[in-house]
Each structure stands twice: as structure tokens, then as C-alpha cells.
Amino acid sequence: MAYSNLLRIVIGVDMDKSNNSKQTFGATDGEPAWYCVRSKPKHEHIAAANLSKLQVVETFNPSLRSRKATRRGPVWMTESLFPNYIFARFPFEQMFDEVKYTRGVSSLVHFGTGYPEVPADVIEELRRNFPANELKLSSEVPTAGDQVTITSRALFGLQGVVLRTMPAQRRVQVLLDMLGQTSAVELNLNSVVVERQPLPSQLLS
């Protein structure tokens, strides 16, 4: 499932149908509630940090930690689960303007003039699956069937499917599709990075 589709489920709104009368749009009773905040590109952590400085605002930025292919070799990177989106809990009428104009924030997710609340139990479920706002998904040793990206210079950026691993020799056999032909190549384990693995099944049910 794509992360954009998961975000639709988390918010509880069909993004293609903004006039959903069943949603609660911007609580007016003064009680804090969770909302989805859109950050400026690649500013999720900045937006979350600045929002956290506001006295009555709580933030949650679920993140993934995984190995990525770079020309310097595989490196560990932390990325937001929902790129350009974080969650913030605050009293809507009291803090709307301050949240909206916080450094790093682009806007609050809204549909027409409505700002849907994110159910608190959904946030708690995310927190159970992403303790301490971070979850390491990629494995050091890929397994048969994993899709990997190659980081060695000659084949940099190519993707293939793991046929088998040889942990004792620190080697892996990968099936590649090159120029319309498939071939198996044997590589050092340090030359491949496992692509992002599926989210925990609890979040997709």
C-alpha cells in the first residue's frame, strides 16, 4: 500500500471527496485534538521541532530508519513515514493561526473549509508501531525475494531481486534485468541495499 493511501486511512477522509459530512472539521469546544499538518518540503523535523516549542501543542512525526544507496556506499537515513506531513495536537480555535504560521509549516490539511481531526486511537496505534518516533526497517542481510538497489560503481542504481544470500562469505546473488535480458550476478553484501519493506500489518488492516 502506498504511503499516500495510508495517510488517507489515518486521517479518515477520502482525499478525493472533500465534502464528507461525516467528518469533524475543526473542534470548537476548546479541547485539544490531533490534526494533520503539511510541512514545507523536507522540513518535517523542523516543523515538528518548532511546533513543540508552542506551550499547548504536542507533535508526532513517525519516522523510518533504513539504508539508502549513495555513491559513497550504503548509508543509514531517517525519513518521515509520511513525507511532508506530521501530526499536531492542539486546541483548534486557540492555536490555529500560531500553528499555521509556525516556521517549517506549509498548511494544515483541510478539505474546503474543514480541518478533519485525526482519531486519537489511530495516533496511539502509530506510536505503538513506531516507538521513539523511529523504526529500523531494513535488514543488514537481505533474504531471497527482497528487492535491492546496487551501490557498487559499475552497477550503481540498478535494482534486482535477491536469489540467495551467503552470509558466511558476505555475498549475495541478485537477478538483474539488463538490456532486456535477465542475468544473475554475485555481489558483496555491502554493495546492496534492501528497498523499504512493508509497513507493520496492523497499520494496513
Locus of grid cell 515538528: 48
3-state secondary structure of 13: coil
Domain ranges of the chain: 3-136, 147-196
Cα 106 to the center of its chain, rounded Å: 18
C-alpha to C-alpha distance for 103 and 39, rounded to whole angstroms: 9
C-alpha to C-alpha distance for 83 and 133, rounded to whole angstroms: 14
Q: Would you state the pLDDT for residue 198?
A: 43
Q: Would you state the pLDDT for residue 11?
A: 64
The residue among 124, 120, 128, 126 whose CA lies nearest residue 31 is 120
C-alpha to C-alpha distance for 36 and 115, rounded to whole angstroms: 9
Q: Is domain 3-136 in CATH 3.30.70.940, yes or no? A: yes
Query: The C-alpha cell of 63 is what?
Result: 519516522
- The answer to whether residues 168 and 192 touch, using CB atoms and an 8 Å cutoff, is no
Q: Would you state the pLDDT for residue 8?
A: 64
What letter would DSSP give residue 24?
A: -
Q: Is domain 147-196 in CATH 2.30.30.30, yes or no? A: yes
C-alpha to C-alpha distance for 78 and 35, rounded to whole angstroms: 23
* Residue 39 β-bridge partners: 105
Give pLDDT tens digits along the chain (205 positions): 345 555 665 666 544 444 443 344 566 568 999 999 999 999 999 999 999 999 999 999 988 776 666 667 667 777 788 889 999 999 999 999 999 999 999 999 988 888 999 999 889 888 887 765 555 554 557 888 888 888 777 787 888 999 999 988 889 999 998 777 888 999 988 788 887 544 444 443 3
